[in-house]
A = this chain, B = another copy of it.
Amino acid sequence: MAQQHLDPTDPMARTVTGNALAGYLRAQATEFLRALRQHRETGAGGNGSAESVDAARALRRSARRISGSLHTFRPLLDPDWSEGMRPELAWLSGTLALEHAYAARLERLLNALHRLSGSPALPSQPTAPTTTGTTGTTTPTPTATTTGTTTGTTTATTNTANLTVGAAKAGALLDRQLTLARTRAHSAALQALGSSRFHAVADKVAVLASEVPLTPSATTADLHPLAAAAEERLTDAVAALPLLTAGHPYNATALVHGLSPDPAPHAQDAPWHQVRLLLRLHRYAREVIEGAEATVNVRLLAAGQALNRHRDAAEASAAAASAARTPRIAPATAYALGVLHADQRHEVEAARFAFQQSWQKQRVTTP
Query: Closest approach, in angstroms, between the C-beta of A100 and any C-beta of chain B?
Result: 24
A206 within 8 A of B: no
Given contacts A116-B255, A339-B339, A339-B342, 6 further A-B contacts (CB under 8 A): A117-B260, A164-B260, A166-B259, A335-B337, A341-B342, A342-B346
A277 within 8 A of B: no
Name the CB-closest residue of B to A341: B339
Cα-based distance from A166 to B259 in the complex (angstroms): 8
Q: Which residues of B contact A252 (CB under 8 A)?
A: 115, 343, 346-347, 350
A256, A257, A324, A334: residue with the most chain B Cβ atoms closer than 10 Å: A334
A336 within 8 A of B: yes
Contact A333 B336 (CB under 8 A): no
Within 8 A of B (CB), among A326-367: 329-343, 346-347, 349-350, 353-354
Q: Which residues of B contact A332 (CB under 8 A)?
A: 324, 334
Contact B116 A346 (CB under 8 A): no
Q: Which residues of B contact A331 (CB under 8 A)?
A: 324, 329-331, 333-334
Question: Per DSSP, are chain A's interface residues mostly helix, strand or loop, or mixed?
Answer: helix
In the assembled complex, 7 residue pairs joining A and B whose CB atoms fall closer than 8 Å, in A order, are: A116-B256, A252-B343, A252-B350, A330-B331, A332-B334, A334-B335, A338-B339
Given the known interface contacts A255-B343, A259-B164, the answer about A249 and B335 at a Cβ–Cβ threshold of 8 Å is: no
Query: Closest approach, in angstroms, between the C-beta of A73 and any C-beta of chain B?
Result: 38
From B116, B256, B334, B353, A250 is in contact (CB under 8 Å) with B353
Within 8 A of B (CB), among A29-79: none
Within 8 A of B (CB), among A157-182: 163-167
A212 within 8 A of B: no
Name the CB-closest residue of B to A327: B331
Query: Closest approach, in angstroms, between the C-beta of A159 and any C-beta of chain B?
Result: 15
Q: Which residues of B contact A343 (CB under 8 A)?
A: 252, 255, 258, 342
Cα-based distance from A334 to B353 in the complex (angstroms): 30
From B118, B324, B347, A260 is in contact (CB under 8 Å) with B118
Name the CB-closest residue of B to A117: B259
Q: Which residues of B contact A234 (CB under 8 A)?
A: none
Contact B118 A256 (CB under 8 A): yes
Name the CB-closest residue of B to A323: B335
Q: Which residues of B contact A346 (CB under 8 A)?
A: 250, 252, 255, 342, 346
Query: Closest approach, in angstroms, between the C-beta of A319 and any C-beta of chain B?
Result: 14
Q: Which residues of B contact A341 (CB under 8 A)?
A: 335, 338-339, 342
Query: Closest approach, in angstroms, between the C-beta of A312 and any C-beta of chain B?
Result: 15
Within 8 A of B (CB), among A185-240: none
Q: Which residues of B contact A339 (CB under 8 A)?
A: 255, 258-259, 338-339, 341-342
